[in-house]
Amino acid sequence: EEKRRGAFSSRRVFILAAIGSAVGLGNIWRFPYVAYENGGGAFVIPYLVALLTAGVPFLLLDYGIGHKFRGSPPLSFARMRRGAEGLGWWQVGICAVIAIYYAAVLAWAVRYAFFSFTKAWGADPETFFLVDFLQVSDPGVTADPVAGVLVPLVVMWALVIGLLALGVQKGVGATAMVFIPVLVLSFGALVVASLFLPGAGSGLDALFTPSWSALAEPTVWAAAFGQIFFSLSIGFGIMITYASYVHRHTDMPGSGLVVGFSNSGFELLAGIGVFAALGFMAQDSGEAVGEVAGDGGVGLAFIAFPAIINEAPAGALIGVLFFVSLVLAGITSLISITEVVISAVRDKFELGRVAATLLVALPMAIVSVLFLGTTSGLYVLDIVDHFINQFGILLVAVVSMVVVVWGLRALPQLAAHLNDHSSVRIGLWWRALLGVVTPLALAYVLVDAFVTDVQTPYEGYPTWMLAVFGWGSAAAVVVIGFVLARLRWRSATALDGATYD
């Protein structure tokens, strides 16, 4: 069966692929800002608590499910209990939606890597980004293509489709083996260059100065748990899929610790690099660090960084390193989410690698080009990203976790499986955390986000746009997921216990 589905050649390749998925845009443009906004140096405490009480345990749950049941999310859940297959497809749907817009950010970053050489954005990076580069329309949906986005977007999809068609080891695994070391070098060089900028120290002070009172705020704790779930790519199928490609007698808990701490290490590194650069910018412009930091995310990467690149000594070099790092970190993440969809379709319909890749990724690429390669692409991206993160990722994570833990009571057998070849023992603490702490933390973050979004329409977008792209996309993946679960398995023996136990 391993021959048919594909497999990583070694534990090392799996660990690199998992790190490749985890380390993404979230590390570079989300973590530094979230940490800064939520207590600075004091954020270490909720962050570490979230990592150890929820992040790592949940990561091991995903590993356990994928490694024991040896399938994509739909296959793994169906093997656990027939009726649970829909959960797997729901996760697959979320991955498909994320991939569709994630690719667009990478396409922008590719162009910005080239722009860095000549500082093509001129003296006003904000106007350049919104008006000249994205040609942003009034809120709404348009069909006006933006060639500067469309072309790199098509290239990005062609590249990812090509790599995925090569298969689990030669495509997914080999890409991570090459990209992750190069990423560490390019981002490491960026951090060093940023630390030499005048004012770097004040940026680090701004990031790390602890505001201890933040620890009393529930929102700070919610932010820590939210960051950990997003950042580790847990709870929506990626780690289940990758774990299903790992040889049976492999130490999974040990691998999980390596992946978890590598991802956090990269977040810390990103915080240092980004805030050193922001410190320089603040000093240069006479503003406060908080003002130049903006809201993180797209604005940080495509508006604040170009401004830094304009002023910094060796700015072009910093720019190239920064955008190349974004692209490298992003491609391995994009590969991981797209692979979840391919893997699920292969398992269910018994398709060959190349056929499934084309069948899955071509339609995704087309939707991506249609919705994100136009003058309204930024709006679609902003709304879908916000809603699918909250009411996709977080919701499916808490629902599937509660089903597995309390509905199917699967933790004892999963713990036994994980312990079989483990260097660290999965004890009762694991079951206690997953049974109580993690679901409660997730539920809290989710309810908090829900209340906020009901009370204030996100970013003041028109209601119909939020209804269609926001609530609509989050709901559509559930419905489509449970419909797909009703289709028959191509192979009558797919769900047989004998094939995996």
Using CB under 6 A, list all residues that contact ligand PHE. 21-22, 24-27, 98, 230-231, 233, 333, 336-337
C-alpha 59/C-alpha 358 separation (Å) is: 30
Q: Does 91 bind Na ion (CB under 5 A)?
A: no
C-alpha 190/C-alpha 325 separation (Å) is: 9
Among 26, 71, 74, 86, binds Na ion (CB under 5 A): 26
Contact of residue 293 among Na ion, ligand PHE, none (CB under 5-8 Å per partner type) = none
Region of 96-104, 209-217, 231-239, 248-256 interacting with Na ion (CB under 5 A): 231-239
145 DSSP β-pair partners: 374
Q: Provide the minimum distance between the beta carbon of 85 and Na ion in the complex, in angstroms, as a whole number.
A: 28
Contact of residue 375 among ligand PHE, Na ion, none (CB under 5-8 Å per partner type) = none
C-alpha 493/C-alpha 500 separation (Å) is: 11
One character per residue 257-286, x = contact with Na ion (rule: CB under 5 A): ------x-----------------------
Q: Which conformational region is residue 450 in: left (phi greater than 0), alpha (psi within -120 to 50 degrees), or beta?
A: alpha
285: which 2 tokens?
């412009």
Number of H helices and E strands in the chain, helices first, is 27, 0
Among 21, 27, 194, 283, binds Na ion (CB under 5 A): 27
Rank residues 25 and 327 by Cβ distance to ligand PHE and give the closer one. Answer: 25
Say whether 374 sits in a helix, a strand or coil: strand
233: which 2 tokens?
């790519």
155: which 2 tokens?
């290239």
Contact of residue 60 among ligand PHE, Na ion, none (CB under 5-8 Å per partner type) = none
Q: Provide the minimum distance between the beta carbon of 236 and ligand PHE in the complex, in angstroms, as a whole number.
A: 8
Rank residues 233 and 357 by Cβ distance to ligand PHE and give the closer one. Answer: 233
Contact of residue 229 among Na ion, ligand PHE, none (CB under 5-8 Å per partner type) = none
How many residues belong to the site for Na ion (CB under 5 A)?
Answer: 5
Rank residues 27 and 76 by Cβ distance to Na ion and give the closer one. Answer: 27
Q: Which are the contacts of 460, defined by CB distance < 8 A and separation ≥ 6?
A: none
Rank residues 334 and 478 by Cβ distance to ligand PHE and give the closer one. Answer: 334
Contact of residue 337 among Na ion, ligand PHE, none (CB under 5-8 Å per partner type) = ligand PHE
Region of 256-264, 342-350, 364-372, 405-413 interacting with Na ion (CB under 5 A): 256-264
Rank residues 29 and 280 by Cβ distance to ligand PHE and give the closer one. Answer: 29
Region of 16-24, 141-149, 435-443, 486-494 interacting with Na ion (CB under 5 A): 16-24
C-alpha 5/C-alpha 263 separation (Å) is: 27
Query: What phi and psi, each to the nearest 5 degrees, are found at residue 313?
Result: -65, 140
Among 17, 22, 326, 365, binds Na ion (CB under 5 A): 22
Q: Does 20 bind Na ion (CB under 5 A)?
A: no
C-alpha 189/C-alpha 5 separation (Å) is: 38
C-alpha 101/C-alpha 350 separation (Å) is: 28
C-alpha 326/C-alpha 312 separation (Å) is: 19
C-alpha 97/C-alpha 103 separation (Å) is: 11
Closest CA to 233 of 39, 59, 455: 59
In the complex, the residues that contact Na ion under the rule CB under 5 A are 22, 26-27, 231, 263
